[in-house]
Chains A and B, each alone.
Chain A
Amino acid sequence: MCAKTSKPTDWAALLEDELKKEGKLPPGKGWLTQREIKAQWNIGYHKLYKMLRSLMAEGKVERFDGHTYTKGRVSTKTWYRVK
Protein backbone atom coordinates (compact mmCIF):
# COMPACT_ATOMS: atom_id res chain seq x y z
CA MET A 1 0.00 0.00 0.00
CA CYS A 2 1.51 3.30 -1.11
CA ALA A 3 1.47 6.49 0.94
CA LYS A 4 -0.88 9.05 -0.64
CA THR A 5 0.82 12.28 -1.63
CA SER A 6 -1.33 14.96 -3.20
CA LYS A 7 1.10 16.92 -5.41
CA PRO A 8 3.42 15.29 -7.96
CA THR A 9 6.45 16.66 -6.12
CA ASP A 10 5.34 15.76 -2.59
CA TRP A 11 6.86 12.30 -2.55
CA ALA A 12 10.37 13.73 -3.07
CA ALA A 13 10.01 16.34 -0.32
CA LEU A 14 8.55 13.80 2.12
CA LEU A 15 11.21 11.20 1.35
CA GLU A 16 13.91 13.85 1.69
CA ASP A 17 12.61 14.85 5.14
CA GLU A 18 12.34 11.23 6.23
CA LEU A 19 15.90 10.48 5.11
CA LYS A 20 17.21 13.32 7.27
CA LYS A 21 15.63 11.91 10.40
CA GLU A 22 17.86 9.90 12.70
CA GLY A 23 15.09 7.68 13.99
CA LYS A 24 13.59 7.30 17.44
CA LEU A 25 16.54 7.75 19.80
CA PRO A 26 16.54 7.66 23.62
CA PRO A 27 16.37 11.05 25.38
CA GLY A 28 19.37 12.17 27.44
CA LYS A 29 22.72 10.53 28.03
CA GLY A 30 23.96 7.25 29.41
CA TRP A 31 21.99 4.89 27.16
CA LEU A 32 23.76 1.76 25.91
CA THR A 33 22.70 -1.11 23.66
CA GLN A 34 23.20 -4.70 24.76
CA ARG A 35 26.22 -5.01 22.49
CA GLU A 36 27.84 -1.94 24.09
CA ILE A 37 27.11 -3.19 27.63
CA LYS A 38 28.48 -6.63 26.77
CA ALA A 39 31.70 -5.05 25.51
CA GLN A 40 32.02 -2.82 28.61
CA TRP A 41 31.34 -5.54 31.16
CA ASN A 42 33.26 -8.16 29.18
CA ILE A 43 30.64 -10.89 29.71
CA GLY A 44 28.67 -13.25 27.47
CA TYR A 45 25.13 -12.70 26.22
CA HIS A 46 23.58 -15.31 28.54
CA LYS A 47 24.98 -13.65 31.64
CA LEU A 48 24.06 -10.22 30.25
CA TYR A 49 20.39 -11.22 29.71
CA LYS A 50 20.14 -12.59 33.25
CA MET A 51 21.73 -9.48 34.79
CA LEU A 52 19.60 -7.03 32.79
CA ARG A 53 16.40 -8.94 33.62
CA SER A 54 17.20 -8.97 37.28
CA LEU A 55 18.31 -5.29 37.40
CA MET A 56 15.15 -4.20 35.55
CA ALA A 57 12.99 -6.26 37.95
CA GLU A 58 14.72 -4.47 40.83
CA GLY A 59 14.05 -1.10 39.16
CA LYS A 60 17.73 -0.24 38.88
CA VAL A 61 17.88 -0.23 35.06
CA GLU A 62 15.43 1.42 32.64
CA ARG A 63 14.76 0.38 29.03
CA PHE A 64 13.99 2.39 25.87
CA ASP A 65 12.57 0.84 22.65
CA GLY A 66 13.43 2.89 19.54
CA HIS A 67 14.79 2.62 16.03
CA THR A 68 17.45 4.03 13.71
CA TYR A 69 17.65 4.32 9.94
CA THR A 70 20.40 2.37 8.25
CA LYS A 71 20.61 2.71 4.46
CA GLY A 72 16.88 3.31 4.19
CA ARG A 73 15.95 0.46 6.49
CA VAL A 74 14.41 0.86 9.91
CA SER A 75 16.46 -1.03 12.48
CA THR A 76 14.65 -1.52 15.78
CA LYS A 77 16.95 -1.02 18.76
CA THR A 78 16.69 -1.26 22.52
CA TRP A 79 18.79 0.85 24.86
CA TYR A 80 19.37 0.44 28.61
CA ARG A 81 20.44 2.93 31.27
CA VAL A 82 21.27 2.63 34.95
CA LYS A 83 18.82 4.82 36.93
Chain B
Amino acid sequence: MQDEKAVASLLAFTKDFDPDVRVIAGDLWDFRNLRKGASDDEKAASLSDDWKAGLEFASTFFAGGSDKTLMLGNHDTRLWDFSHSATGLLRDYASDGIKRVQGYVKKWNSKLLPYDSAKGICHIGHLKVVHGYFAGANATQQHARVYGNVIHGHTHDIAVCAIPSLEPKEARSIGCLCKRDMDYCNAKTAKLRWSHGWAYGFLFPNGEYVLNQARSINGQFHVCQDIKTY
Protein backbone atom coordinates (compact mmCIF):
# COMPACT_ATOMS: atom_id res chain seq x y z
CA MET B 1 0.00 0.00 0.00
CA GLN B 2 3.07 2.31 -0.15
CA ASP B 3 3.14 4.90 -2.90
CA GLU B 4 6.40 3.99 -4.60
CA LYS B 5 7.19 7.47 -5.89
CA ALA B 6 6.51 9.16 -2.53
CA VAL B 7 8.53 6.59 -0.58
CA ALA B 8 11.45 6.71 -3.02
CA SER B 9 11.44 10.53 -2.86
CA LEU B 10 11.46 10.59 0.94
CA LEU B 11 14.31 8.08 1.13
CA ALA B 12 16.34 10.03 -1.45
CA PHE B 13 15.69 13.26 0.49
CA THR B 14 16.69 11.57 3.76
CA LYS B 15 19.97 10.44 2.21
CA ASP B 16 20.78 14.00 1.07
CA PHE B 17 19.44 15.90 4.10
CA ASP B 18 20.82 13.33 6.56
CA PRO B 19 18.73 14.41 9.58
CA ASP B 20 19.91 13.67 13.13
CA VAL B 21 16.36 13.28 14.44
CA ARG B 22 14.22 10.75 12.57
CA VAL B 23 10.64 9.84 13.45
CA ILE B 24 8.28 7.38 11.80
CA ALA B 25 4.96 8.74 13.01
CA GLY B 26 3.01 5.50 12.86
CA ASP B 27 1.27 3.10 10.46
CA LEU B 28 4.51 1.62 9.22
CA TRP B 29 2.48 -1.57 8.74
CA ASP B 30 -1.15 -2.03 7.75
CA PHE B 31 -1.96 -5.39 9.42
CA ARG B 32 -5.43 -5.31 7.84
CA ASN B 33 -5.77 -9.09 8.26
CA LEU B 34 -5.71 -8.60 12.03
CA ARG B 35 -8.42 -5.98 12.19
CA LYS B 36 -11.43 -6.93 14.30
CA GLY B 37 -14.19 -7.92 11.90
CA ALA B 38 -11.79 -8.11 8.93
CA SER B 39 -13.59 -8.90 5.65
CA ASP B 40 -12.64 -11.92 3.49
CA ASP B 41 -10.70 -9.58 1.17
CA GLU B 42 -8.77 -8.14 4.11
CA LYS B 43 -8.04 -11.63 5.44
CA ALA B 44 -6.72 -12.60 2.01
CA ALA B 45 -4.16 -9.74 1.96
CA SER B 46 -0.54 -10.78 2.34
CA LEU B 47 0.70 -10.24 5.87
CA SER B 48 4.21 -11.28 4.78
CA ASP B 49 4.41 -8.64 2.04
CA ASP B 50 3.07 -6.01 4.45
CA TRP B 51 5.66 -6.95 7.08
CA LYS B 52 8.56 -7.02 4.60
CA ALA B 53 7.64 -3.66 3.01
CA GLY B 54 7.45 -1.92 6.40
CA LEU B 55 10.68 -3.51 7.57
CA GLU B 56 12.54 -2.53 4.41
CA PHE B 57 11.34 1.08 4.65
CA ALA B 58 12.24 1.46 8.34
CA SER B 59 15.64 -0.22 7.90
CA THR B 60 16.55 2.27 5.16
CA PHE B 61 15.09 5.31 6.93
CA PHE B 62 16.77 4.46 10.24
CA ALA B 63 20.14 3.68 8.61
CA GLY B 64 21.45 7.09 9.76
CA GLY B 65 20.59 9.67 12.39
CA SER B 66 21.27 9.72 16.12
CA ASP B 67 17.82 10.20 17.70
CA LYS B 68 15.33 7.77 16.22
CA THR B 69 11.72 7.00 17.17
CA LEU B 70 9.26 4.49 15.81
CA MET B 71 5.72 5.41 16.82
CA LEU B 72 2.91 2.91 16.57
CA GLY B 73 -0.22 3.98 14.72
CA ASN B 74 -3.74 2.61 14.88
CA HIS B 75 -2.84 0.11 12.13
CA ASP B 76 0.41 -1.13 13.72
CA THR B 77 -1.25 -1.60 17.08
CA ARG B 78 -3.58 -4.21 15.57
CA LEU B 79 -0.76 -6.74 16.08
CA TRP B 80 -0.64 -5.93 19.81
CA ASP B 81 -4.44 -6.00 20.12
CA PHE B 82 -4.59 -9.28 18.21
CA SER B 83 -1.97 -10.92 20.41
CA HIS B 84 -4.11 -10.11 23.46
CA SER B 85 -7.36 -11.45 22.02
CA ALA B 86 -6.18 -14.43 19.97
CA THR B 87 -5.54 -17.88 21.38
CA GLY B 88 -3.26 -20.82 20.66
CA LEU B 89 -0.93 -20.74 17.67
CA LEU B 90 -2.38 -17.44 16.44
CA ARG B 91 -1.36 -15.71 19.65
CA ASP B 92 2.08 -17.36 19.56
CA TYR B 93 2.79 -16.13 16.05
CA ALA B 94 1.50 -12.62 16.85
CA SER B 95 3.65 -12.52 20.03
CA ASP B 96 6.62 -13.58 17.94
CA GLY B 97 5.86 -10.72 15.54
CA ILE B 98 5.88 -8.25 18.45
CA LYS B 99 9.22 -9.61 19.64
CA ARG B 100 10.58 -9.17 16.11
CA VAL B 101 9.43 -5.52 16.08
CA GLN B 102 11.07 -4.94 19.48
CA GLY B 103 14.24 -6.65 18.23
CA TYR B 104 14.44 -4.41 15.17
CA VAL B 105 13.79 -1.30 17.27
CA LYS B 106 16.79 -2.27 19.39
CA LYS B 107 18.88 -2.98 16.30
CA TRP B 108 17.99 0.43 14.84
CA ASN B 109 18.86 2.04 18.19
CA SER B 110 15.40 3.58 18.15
CA LYS B 111 12.71 4.27 20.73
CA LEU B 112 9.30 2.61 20.39
CA LEU B 113 6.21 4.59 21.40
CA PRO B 114 2.76 3.01 21.81
CA TYR B 115 -0.44 4.15 20.14
CA ASP B 116 -1.63 5.94 23.24
CA SER B 117 -2.96 9.52 23.45
CA ALA B 118 -0.92 10.17 26.62
CA LYS B 119 2.15 7.96 26.21
CA GLY B 120 2.48 8.01 22.43
CA ILE B 121 4.00 11.49 22.21
CA CYS B 122 7.45 12.16 20.77
CA HIS B 123 9.09 15.43 21.89
CA ILE B 124 11.48 17.23 19.54
CA GLY B 125 12.43 20.42 21.37
CA HIS B 126 9.18 22.40 21.82
CA LEU B 127 7.46 20.37 19.12
CA LYS B 128 5.39 17.27 19.77
CA VAL B 129 4.75 14.45 17.31
CA VAL B 130 1.75 12.14 17.59
CA HIS B 131 0.37 9.59 15.18
CA GLY B 132 -3.07 11.17 15.38
CA TYR B 133 -6.12 10.66 17.55
CA PHE B 134 -8.78 12.66 15.69
CA ALA B 135 -10.27 12.22 12.23
CA GLY B 136 -12.30 14.39 9.87
CA ALA B 137 -11.98 17.94 8.56
CA ASN B 138 -11.38 19.44 12.04
CA ALA B 139 -8.78 16.90 13.14
CA THR B 140 -5.81 19.29 12.96
CA GLN B 141 -7.65 21.93 14.99
CA GLN B 142 -8.52 19.32 17.62
CA HIS B 143 -4.90 18.21 17.80
CA ALA B 144 -3.83 21.85 18.34
CA ARG B 145 -6.33 22.21 21.20
CA VAL B 146 -5.10 19.07 22.96
CA TYR B 147 -1.38 19.03 22.17
CA GLY B 148 -0.45 22.62 21.29
CA ASN B 149 2.49 22.70 18.87
CA VAL B 150 2.22 19.34 17.26
CA ILE B 151 2.54 17.48 13.99
CA HIS B 152 0.40 14.46 13.25
CA GLY B 153 -0.35 11.87 10.59
CA HIS B 154 -3.38 9.56 10.61
CA THR B 155 -5.65 11.78 8.49
CA HIS B 156 -3.43 11.48 5.37
CA ASP B 157 -3.99 15.16 4.48
CA ILE B 158 -1.75 18.21 4.65
CA ALA B 159 -3.26 20.90 6.87
CA VAL B 160 -2.24 23.64 9.27
CA CYS B 161 -4.33 25.07 12.08
CA ALA B 162 -3.36 27.66 14.69
CA ILE B 163 -5.76 28.19 17.58
CA PRO B 164 -6.17 31.38 19.65
CA SER B 165 -3.66 31.25 22.50
CA LEU B 166 -1.17 33.54 24.29
CA GLU B 167 1.53 31.00 23.50
CA PRO B 168 1.73 29.71 19.90
CA LYS B 169 -0.38 26.60 19.40
CA GLU B 170 -0.17 25.34 15.88
CA ALA B 171 -0.87 21.84 14.63
CA ARG B 172 0.13 20.44 11.28
CA SER B 173 -1.04 17.36 9.49
CA ILE B 174 1.92 16.21 7.42
CA GLY B 175 0.42 13.98 4.73
CA CYS B 176 1.06 10.34 3.99
CA LEU B 177 3.18 7.98 1.90
CA CYS B 178 0.46 5.44 1.12
CA LYS B 179 -1.46 4.92 -2.10
CA ARG B 180 -4.43 7.23 -2.52
CA ASP B 181 -6.54 4.67 -4.42
CA MET B 182 -6.97 1.87 -1.93
CA ASP B 183 -10.05 -0.36 -2.35
CA TYR B 184 -11.59 0.42 1.03
CA CYS B 185 -11.95 4.12 0.25
CA ASN B 186 -13.01 4.08 -3.41
CA ALA B 187 -16.30 5.83 -2.75
CA LYS B 188 -15.15 8.04 0.13
CA THR B 189 -14.68 11.72 -0.66
CA ALA B 190 -12.30 12.15 2.30
CA LYS B 191 -9.53 10.59 0.20
CA LEU B 192 -9.68 13.62 -2.10
CA ARG B 193 -8.04 15.58 0.75
CA TRP B 194 -5.14 13.14 1.02
CA SER B 195 -1.70 14.35 -0.01
CA HIS B 196 1.70 12.75 -0.20
CA GLY B 197 4.28 14.47 1.92
CA TRP B 198 6.48 14.60 4.99
CA ALA B 199 7.73 17.16 7.49
CA TYR B 200 11.34 18.19 8.02
CA GLY B 201 13.10 21.10 9.60
CA PHE B 202 15.79 22.57 11.81
CA LEU B 203 15.98 22.32 15.59
CA PHE B 204 17.78 24.98 17.65
CA PRO B 205 19.55 24.28 20.97
CA ASN B 206 16.85 26.16 22.95
CA GLY B 207 14.12 23.85 21.61
CA GLU B 208 12.77 26.29 19.03
CA TYR B 209 12.37 24.91 15.55
CA VAL B 210 11.69 25.72 11.92
CA LEU B 211 9.29 23.28 10.35
CA ASN B 212 8.92 22.69 6.62
CA GLN B 213 6.47 20.62 4.66
CA ALA B 214 7.42 18.58 1.61
CA ARG B 215 4.42 17.87 -0.60
CA SER B 216 3.77 16.28 -3.94
CA ILE B 217 3.21 18.79 -6.73
CA ASN B 218 2.43 17.00 -9.98
CA GLY B 219 4.26 13.97 -8.63
CA GLN B 220 7.40 15.88 -7.66
CA PHE B 221 8.72 17.01 -4.29
CA HIS B 222 10.51 20.37 -3.99
CA VAL B 223 12.47 20.83 -0.76
CA CYS B 224 15.02 23.22 0.74
CA GLN B 225 18.23 21.85 2.18
CA ASP B 226 19.63 24.77 4.14
CA ILE B 227 18.65 27.55 6.54
CA LYS B 228 19.88 31.16 6.81
CA THR B 229 19.24 33.41 9.81
CA TYR B 230 18.85 37.21 9.46
Contact = CB atoms under 8 A, between A and B. Distances in A.
B89 A73 contact: no
A71 B97 contact: no
The range of chain A's interface size is 20 to 34
B11 interface: no
Contacts of A16: 33, 46-48
Contacts of B87: 72-74
Interface of B: 33-34, 36-37, 43-44, 46-48, 50-52, 55, 82, 85-97, 99-100, 103-104
A27 interface: no
A72 B51 contact: no
Contacts, number: 72
Interface string A5-16: 100111111111
A12 B88 contact: no
A18 B85 contact: no
Contacts of A2: 92, 95-96, 99
Contact of A11 (B36, B100, B104): B100
For the residues of B in contact with A, the DSSP-based class is helix
A19 interface: yes
B92 A12 contact: no
13 contacts: A2-B92, A2-B95, A4-B96, A9-B52, A10-B96, A11-B96, A11-B97, A12-B47, A16-B33, A16-B46, A71-B36, A72-B85, A74-B87
Contacts of B93: 3, 5, 11, 14-15, 18
A74 B97 contact: no
A8 B55 CA distance: 10
Interface of A: 1-5, 8-16, 18-20, 69, 71-74
For the residues of A in contact with B, the DSSP-based class is mixed
Question: Which residue of A2, A4, A12 has the most chain B CB atoms within 10 A of its CB atom?
Answer: A12
Contacts of B104: 8
A2 B87 CA distance: 12
Contacts of A12: 47-48, 50-52, 97
A12 B43 CA distance: 13
Given A18-B89, A73-B86, A9 B51 contact: yes
A3 B89 contact: yes
Given A3-B96, A11-B100, A15-B90, A72 B47 contact: no
A16 B96 CA distance: 13
A12 B95 CA distance: 11
